[in-house]
Chains A and B, each alone.
Chain A
Amino acid sequence: MGIALVVLATLFVPLFPGSWVFNRLVAGLPAGLAQGLAVLVLPQLGLEVLHLTPQAPLELAAWRPWGMGWAAVSALLYAVRALSARDVGIWSRLMLSSGLGLVWFVWWTGAPTEVLRIFALSWSVPAAVALFLAGALVDRMGGACVGLQGGLVEVMPRATTGLVLAGLALTATPMFPAFFSLWRGLVAVAPAWAMMWLPLIFLWGWAAGRLFQDLLFGDYRGESVTDVGVATIAAIGLLLAGSLALGLGASGGLS
């Protein structure tokens, strides 16, 4: 029963190959708000399922190295895939899948569910923002493949700012919650495991760099479009600032 629930949870807190279902499910929803809400809710559902088997990490202790290794592989796999993604929606989902792979990593260390929830939200919130903005791009341009038009910042400075901030948050840039979560996970495992995080951070940075290049540089070549509203970007700003405060608080504050 425990294993069955764990396997079920991999469909919501994406872990390869269950992550395939998660991604199909999210991709199947209309771009924008629906996808954004889905990535906020589904991982929490998955964690709820895991919560039903609190003893699982202990019962499966013999599998722990394999489980942590698999979580690491899953995170790395999606980080590599994100490198080639040019569509903001796909990029966000892949980065989220990569980040949430680490939830499993921490789960194997026996972390309590509350910690896992915050850990998951660290990636879910910026991913939700990015997916919401991807929806705005789809509405305006028919797609969210930013590399096609180039220089989106010229015509949609507000949306671009939101995307860049969400991208930074998703790649665990310092001060964003994912950074503190990552740090917390890092100190909870043996140093040998920490080596795995280095290529992961490197891949995330690279993937974000490619996305930012398409967003920020070059001349815009697409049709004329209207930017997202000031209220929308203000709400996004508040959300990210709230998550920033949450991250800082959860990490013990600035001191």
Chain B
Amino acid sequence: MTLTLGDRLKVHAMVYVASEPIPRFWPMRTFIHHNPLYGLEDKPFAEAVAEGSRLFHARGYLERAQYQRYRREGKIDDEHLRRRIAMFLASRTDVPAGVDLEAWLWHMATACEKSRAVEGGDWVDGAGVAAALKGEAVARPDEDLDPALRAILARHYSSESPVYRHVDALFGTTIGATLDDLVTKSCLDFFDEGQSAWQAPGREAGFFPAWKDLARRNVRFLLRGLHLRQVLAEEETAEGMIAYVLRRLGVPEEAWQGYITHELTRMHGWAGFIRYRMSAKHYYWAQRYPAGLVDFLAVRMVLGFALLQEGSRHHGTPASASEVASLLDREPRQAYLRHELYGGTVLPAWAHKVDDTLARTRPAQVARMAADYAAARAQWENRRTAASLRALAQGVGRSAEAALESLEPARLDDLLAVVRDWEDAEGFMWLQAMESHYMNELVAKIHRPATEARSDRRPFAQALFCIDVRSELMRRHLEALGDYQTFGIAGFFGIPLGYLEFGKGSEAHLCPAVQTPKNLVLEIPAGLDLEEEPLYDALQHVLHELKASVLSPFVAVEAVGLLFSLGLVGRTLAPLGYHRWRRRLHADKPVTRLLLDKLNPEQADSIIRAVQRAMIVRALARELRIPRDKVTDDDVRNLREVALGHEKGPSMLARRLGMTDAAERDFLEKLRGVYRIDRAVTSLQMGRLGRIGFSIEEQVRYVTQALLSIGLDRNFSRFVLLVAHMSQSENNPYESALDCGACGGGKGLPNARALATMANKSEVRRRLRERGIVIPEDTWFLPAIHNTTTDVIELHDLDLVPARHLLYLERLRSGLNAASRRSAAERMPQLGTGSRLAADPLAAAALAQRQAHDWSQVRPEWGLSRNVYAIVGRRSLTEGVNLEGRSFLQSYDYRLDPRGRLLENILTGPLVVGEWINLEHYFSVVDTESYGSGSKVYHNVAGRFAVMTGNQSDLRTGLPTQTVLKDGRPYHEPVRLIALVEAPLEFAQRTVGRIAKVQALVAGGWVRLLVLDPEDDYRVHVLEDGAFTVRPRSARSVQAPPSNQPLEASS
């Protein structure tokens, strides 16, 4: 079968459409918090959640019992919930008369702990329930049993569902699980990023071609009885294979789209990772070993088809959609019994009888059993429903039970429909009621600024922290300690940069995942002997190689195995001491500078020349054994020119040393091929060097934007700290999830260093002055990093600090250290380490240090758990308020932003990052298995880019339970991000309206938007049901923010 171009495009388009709802999965080295329903963000939240539940078989809201627990704790706005019930009922036309449904729904929501108060069923109807309520027998569905069964089966067996799923459900086979295992193994072989000692061959050709080549000779497949050769011979391309298998399976063409969607979403972790690779043009492994979702799907389809064939051969199970359809149509009774038995829904008392009957395969007996079973099932379902309704009515009280019993069957049908629809919608109602509570709480907490005039008092130091919720604690404590002013800014400080760290081979993108940095910054050591490798590092390298090799462990265990026990014992018994000891063995990282300024063409050319000359010197030594002292600079220059084709050979060196033409030609080939001294490569490198650094205009723009966006355009203090943040933990694949989300899951220090370098530059300051931003001569921008696991703030680039500032460093350090200890004292008890630490900051700080180095610690810190608010506005709104580390704080002064451009930047960058973080946590709590990644305890690293549960599973996306649950209950309270923007309402609306993406998020309810209008007497307007409504009067009387609080008062 040869596919036309149109067919290929059709398959491609179908895969593309099917993959849209699947969230991209970033490698865990740079864990990106993201909305698992990102692909559905064009829909309103509730609709998207329903669609996500269908696609990923996941829950979208918490269990009812948990919301009830929140209600008992006072975290639900009852009034809001009642209003939602009334609105729900008002939208219905089928409310049965005589039943106080408002009371019913209220009782059901608040008093019934079961997740479904009234379970449905295939046989439940008003007549049956009415009979059961009267204690009468429910009519047997004997008449027209076959059509009824066909209708039931049609609801369960859609032609869009994979055939193996139907076969598993009807025959109790495990083809789906086996297929998942085989696909996982194939993916692990191909996508490995260096974890395996032996790599799969032929990966450069792409996923499907490489897999196909291996599969033909794969003994594992042969042993399973999978005949892949014949299938693989039918089609060459991945698209062709998909089309071929779909046709052989007899899937109608109109169902292909749905079928492909089911197949891709079944393992959405792997599919999401492949999606990420497809879109990440810079990703090294994707460039080297390309793979697409079409390849993935083709592998899955071929394996699934072969497994079905194998099942058909050995067990006589259907091997195609048409055979399944035929069974459902011809033998609905047998199919129904199978569906009940193997689907796990059979009545327990009937399980053995049904199993026995099916095993005997006598049609008459099967038909009789199906009729009897259906009758029993109908009886059971209707009685159960009647009992549930009666229990509800009794709970409602008064005359509800009598009213229920008096309902006609048709009205009972209406009642059941209303109850069923309410139960489907109830989670969303609870969510809104919970959000309403948090909105009220926020409105009560914020206060109007003490004065509208901007203060001229010069603080001792100003500190720009990331908007991250963990910064809130540190900022609060720092401000309480003394003369510090703090600001919130996205942790990449508004500078999207590609960063090549010294000693690293690949570029990291330090900016929100939605952006792609144009500029590259290099970290260059200020002084280092590159040839020298410290002894311990070299030893460690050797040990690593020994471990990774296939054969060496056989001998190495006896020889050096004992060495590893030192680490084992040290890390387990004295993690902190062991860490300190090891740190002493490692060489210190050298002092470095950032290559930040844009290179002009001459400088770029000079750098390339210098590198190429160094390479030629190395090549001469390695290839021709000619030491440096026998070669002059002119020789090297001349060799370079000859290699690049700028000059003709023979080279000066060849002539001088009497090299033959062949030897020189061979050497030049090596220079071009191996050492990349080639004209085309040089041209490429020139292009890449063009990315390095920022022009002076760009630097001025970034500094201006960073300062104005947080409202800092005057009154600069002596120190302006640019505090990036990072986390520190051992044995934790999720470590980067605790790093800076605004830096793409990286550590934001390079961005802080870059901004500090720019802002300290005299030329930049001169141009800023021209724009009205006057930075005093004695102001020094100092980069720092806040370790959120230990609460320590470490200052960087101190060697650049002017001498006159050094006098003040001690005061700065002691202030920061005190704030660190106070933060630890507030934070550590929340980790369940005992409340006494709240009063002992030193002990709390010591324990925080231990947590960071304890390799058995599954929860080194709570990270961003419990985040709920994003406040975009002046710090004076929340200064002195304990926001419990639950708020993203973005400083913003609308008075400096007449055109709304700065607000646009905040809404498109930090707010979207906040929304992703918030929804990642939300969904990881509401469904810890499908959206979250389950327990960390069972995780294993897969291919160095993700984790799996056990030794083989789909890639686990989302957050682990240890991040969001405490003692089995949600620690993170899942509500959507409540974003409060301080700006005039009309101005805020206009700004949001200009950004389509943000407007979709706000209007779709992915973010709950509140506008605090300073020009409307600080009233809060909330967007609800498509319109802004004024929240009850929010601004409290003017109050001065507290300062210099003692520890007890703030914690």
Contact = CB atoms under 8 A, between A and B. Distances in A.
A224 to B, nearest CB: 8
A142 B352 contact: no
B347 A143 contact: yes
Nearest to B384: A223
Contacts of A143: 347-352
A219 to B, nearest CB: 9
Contacts of B352: 87, 90, 143, 145
B346 A148 contact: yes
Interface string B570-586: 00000000000000000
Contact of B344 (A137, A142, A144, A221): A221
A141 interface: yes
Interface string A14-35: 0000000000000000000000
A122 to B, nearest CB: 27
Interface string B1008-1023: 0000000000000000
A149 B351 CA distance: 12
A86 interface: yes
A221 B348 CA distance: 12
A138 interface: yes
Interface string B341-378: 00011111111100000000000000000000000000
A130 to B, nearest CB: 16
Interface string A129-165: 0000000011001111101111000000000000000
A87 to B, nearest CB: 5
A64 B266 CA distance: 58
Interface in B275-297: none
* Central interface residue in B114, B348, B350, B352, by most chain A CB within 10 Å: B348
A128 to B, nearest CB: 20
A86 B355 CA distance: 10
Top 10 A-B pairs ranked by shortest CB distance? A143-B348, A142-B349, A145-B351, A143-B349, A142-B348, A141-B348, A145-B348, A148-B344, A87-B352, A143-B351
Contacts of B349: 138, 142-143
Contacts of A221: 344
Contacts of A222: 348
Contacts of B347: 142-143
A1 B114 CA distance: 64
Nearest to B346: A148
Contacts of A224: 114
* Central interface residue in A86, A142, A149, A221, by most chain B CB within 10 Å: A142
A222 B346 CA distance: 11
Interface residues of B, number: 10
A201 to B, nearest CB: 26
Contacts of B348: 137-138, 141-145, 148-149, 222
A221 B347 CA distance: 12
A137 B348 CA distance: 10
Interface string A77-110: 0000000001100100000000000000000000
Interface in B468-488: none
Nearest to B119: A223
Nearest to B341: A148
Contacts of A144: 348
Contacts of A145: 346, 348, 351-352
Contacts of A147: 344
A137 B345 CA distance: 17
A143 B348 CA distance: 4
B794 to A, nearest CB: 46
A197 to B, nearest CB: 30
25 contacts: A87-B352, A90-B352, A137-B348, A138-B348, A142-B347, A143-B347, A143-B348, A143-B349, A143-B350, A143-B351, A143-B352, A144-B348, A145-B346, A145-B348, A145-B352, A147-B344, A148-B344, A148-B346, A148-B348, A148-B351, A149-B348, A150-B344, A221-B344, A222-B348, A224-B114
Nearest to A146: B348
Interface in A172-193: none
Nearest to A221: B344
Contacts of A148: 344-346, 348, 351
A221 B119 CA distance: 13
A162 B352 CA distance: 23
A143 B376 CA distance: 14
Contacts of A138: 348-349
Contacts of B346: 145, 148
A131 to B, nearest CB: 15
Contacts of A86: 351
Nearest to B350: A143
Nearest to A89: B352
A243 B352 CA distance: 31
A145 B350 CA distance: 9
Contacts of A137: 348
Contacts of B345: 148
Contacts of B350: 143
Contacts of B351: 86-87, 143, 145, 148
Contacts of A142: 347-349
A222 B352 CA distance: 17
Nearest to A90: B352
A142 B344 CA distance: 14
Given A145-B346, A148-B344, 13 more contacts: A86-B351, A87-B352, A137-B348, A138-B348, A141-B348, A143-B349, A143-B350, A143-B351, A143-B352, A145-B348, A145-B351, A150-B344, A224-B114
Contacts of A149: 348
A143 B351 CA distance: 8
B849 to A, nearest CB: 39
A148 B349 CA distance: 11
* Central interface residue in A143, A144, A221, by most chain B CB within 10 Å: A143
A11 to B, nearest CB: 23
Nearest to A137: B348
A226 to B, nearest CB: 15
Nearest to A224: B114
A199 B350 CA distance: 32
A142 B353 CA distance: 13
A141 B344 CA distance: 14
A88 to B, nearest CB: 11
Contacts of A150: 344
A163 to B, nearest CB: 15
A148 B345 CA distance: 7
Nearest to B347: A142
Interface in B315-360: 344-352
Nearest to A85: B352
Nearest to B351: A145
A137 B350 CA distance: 14
Contacts of B344: 147-148, 150, 221
A17 to B, nearest CB: 19
A147 B352 CA distance: 12
Nearest to B345: A148
A136 to B, nearest CB: 13
A90 B348 CA distance: 13
* Central interface residue in A87, A145, A149, by most chain B CB within 10 Å: A145
Nearest to A144: B348
Nearest to B344: A148
* Central interface residue in B347, B350, B351, by most chain A CB within 10 Å: B351
Nearest to A140: B348
B385 to A, nearest CB: 13
B692 to A, nearest CB: 54
A34 B1012 CA distance: 74
Interface string B763-805: 0000000000000000000000000000000000000000000
A222 B349 CA distance: 13
A224 B112 CA distance: 13
A144 B348 CA distance: 7
Interface in A212-229: 221-222, 224
A68 to B, nearest CB: 32
B887 to A, nearest CB: 35
B111 to A, nearest CB: 16
Nearest to A219: B929
